[in-house]
């Protein structure tokens, strides 16, 4: 009787094991499939906004094409050249939609991650002034502290050499003799390292920000924004292939572009509005681009952007 019971229990256990093996196999298979799917579909930049935007793509397409066929009917008081398919609103010339700010930006230049804001019609001047004065400050700091940097670097090298000598001396002595004290203090070492850090940081910022400032200065001279630079480049190539010359309709000559950018109407404004902080607003409303009377105009062939 006892043997029969034992045999029955063994059979049960075996069945139990076999059942669990199959379940484990199935679980492993599901896990493997899930891993494959996640690996294939993984995208670190994907979030709910991207998914919603992708789902709305047919709606955007419809808005884009309907407005192209029937023209812009709504809000006729806003001078526009196209319709923003995300805002479903008229889009004036030089305006672009920022997907991070989720709105249309007048004379959009770029979305600045450092400011966490878009650089456009009303704050482009502040952005450029910040870059320019920051670069000038860093260059001044780098040049004026170069002798201090050289001395600090030499002192750190000297400290290193002295430390090596001290350890070598300590190694030659018997274990009972005392290790000689360091020839420099902790404070001296920190002071020299801070000067090296200051100079390296200032020089790096001066180089990086200087390059950005130069790039923006070039764009302002040409009367373009960063986005228009790409659009105009393509347009220039396209027209060149047709044997035509492209003229930027928003460029009023080198001097004119700079004067319009900083709002310089008189010679005194170069000091009061450029060198000194000024809260004057950008010229115009950002919707129309008629040049002011104090800017010398030139004949250009107007091309909508």
Catalytic site positions = 112
For 257, counting Cβ atoms within 10 Å of its Cβ (0-12 exposed, 13-18 middle, 19+ buried), the class is buried
Closer residue to Zn ion, CB minimum distance, 111 or 236? 111
Closer residue to Zn ion, CB minimum distance, 31 or 230? 230
Q: Which stretch binds Zn ion (CB under 5 A): 110-118, 150-158, 199-207, 271-279?
A: 110-118
Q: Helices (H), strands (E): how many in the chain? A: 9, 6
49-88 residues in contact with Zn ion (CB under 5 A) are 84, 86-87
111 binds Zn ion (CB under 5 A): yes
Closer residue to Zn ion, CB minimum distance, 152 or 282? 282
156 in Cβ contact with 192 (< 8 Å): yes
Which x/- pattern over 267-286 shows residues binding Zn ion (rule: CB under 5 A)? --------------------
CA–CA separation, 217 vs 224, rounded Å? 10
- Sole binder of Zn ion in the list 101, 139, 239, 274 (CB under 5 A): 101
- Sole binder of Zn ion in the list 118, 119, 209, 282 (CB under 5 A): 118
Torsion of CA 151, 157, 161, 163, to 10 degrees: 90
- Residue 289 Cβ, how far from Zn ion at the closest point, in Å? 19
Closer residue to Zn ion, CB minimum distance, 118 or 206? 118
- Sole binder of Zn ion in the list 67, 83, 92, 104 (CB under 5 A): 104
- Sole binder of Zn ion in the list 98, 139, 239, 295 (CB under 5 A): 98
CA distances for 41 relative to 37, 38, 44, 46, 58, angstroms: 6, 5, 10, 10, 22
- Sole binder of Zn ion in the list 100, 201, 275, 302 (CB under 5 A): 100
282 in Cβ contact with 262 (< 8 Å): no
What are the tokens at 125? 């001047």
- Residue 153 Cβ, how far from Zn ion at the closest point, in Å? 42
Q: Which stretch binds Zn ion (CB under 5 A): 33-41, 97-105, 133-141, 185-193?
A: 97-105
- Residue 56 Cβ, how far from Zn ion at the closest point, in Å? 13
What is the total count of residues that contact Zn ion (CB under 5 A)? 10
What are the tokens at 137? 């400050």
227 binds Zn ion (CB under 5 A): no
- Residue 131 Cβ, how far from Zn ion at the closest point, in Å? 17
Strands (DSSP E) found in the chain: 82-84, 89-91, 96-98, 103-105, 110-112, 117-119
110 binds Zn ion (CB under 5 A): no
97 binds Zn ion (CB under 5 A): yes
User: Is residue 262 within a helix (H) or strand (E), and if so which, with residue range?
Assistant: helix 254-262
132 in Cβ contact with 147 (< 8 Å): no
Task: Give residue 50's Cα distance to chain centre.
Answer: 19
CA–CA separation, 256 vs 294, rounded Å? 9
Closer residue to Zn ion, CB minimum distance, 80 or 142? 80
User: Is residue 259 within a helix (H) or strand (E), and if so which, with residue range?
Assistant: helix 254-262
Closer residue to Zn ion, CB minimum distance, 53 or 157? 53
Please report, as ranges, the residues that interact with Zn ion according to CB under 5 A: 84, 86-87, 97-98, 100-101, 104, 111, 118
């Amino acid at each position: 009787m006892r043997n029969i019971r034992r045999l029955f229990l063994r059979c049960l256990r075996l069945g139990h094991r076999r059942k669990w093996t199959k379940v484990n196999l199935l679980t492993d298979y599901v896990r493997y499939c899930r891993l494959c799917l996640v690996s294939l579909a993984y995208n670190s930049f994907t979030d709910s906004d991207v998914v919603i935007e992708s789902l709305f793509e047919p709606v955007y397409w419809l808005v884009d094409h309907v407005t192209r066929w029937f023209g812009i009917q709504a809000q006729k008081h806003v001078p526009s050249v196209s319709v923003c398919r995300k805002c479903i609103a008229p889009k004036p010339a030089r305006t672009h939609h920022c997907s991070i700010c989720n709105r249309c930006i007048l004379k959009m230049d770029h979305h600045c991650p450092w400011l966490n804001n878009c650089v456009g019609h009303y704050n482009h001047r502040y952005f450029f002034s910040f870059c320019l004065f920051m670069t000038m400050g860093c260059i001044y700091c780098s040049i004026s502290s170069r002798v201090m940097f050289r001395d600090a670097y030499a002192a750190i090298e000297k400290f290193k050499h002295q430390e090596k000598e001290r350890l070598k001396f300590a190694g030659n002595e018997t274990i009972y003799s005392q290790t000689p004290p360091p020839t420099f203090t902790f404070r001296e070492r920190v002071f020299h390292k801070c000067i090296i850090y200051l100079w390296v940081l200032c020089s790096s910022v001066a180089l990086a920000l200087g390059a950005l400032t130069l790039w923006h200065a070039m764009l302002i001279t040409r009367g373009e924004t960063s986005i228009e630079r790409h659009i105009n480049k393509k347009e220039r190539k396209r027209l060149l292939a047709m044997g035509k010359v492209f003229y930027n309709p928003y460029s009023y000559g080198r001097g004119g572009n700079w004067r319009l950018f900083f709002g310089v109407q008189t010679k005194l404004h170069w000091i009061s509005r450029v060198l000194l902080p000024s809260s004057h607003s950008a010229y115009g409303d950002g919707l129309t681009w008629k040049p002011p009377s104090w800017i010398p105009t030139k004949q250009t062939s107007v091309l909508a952007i």
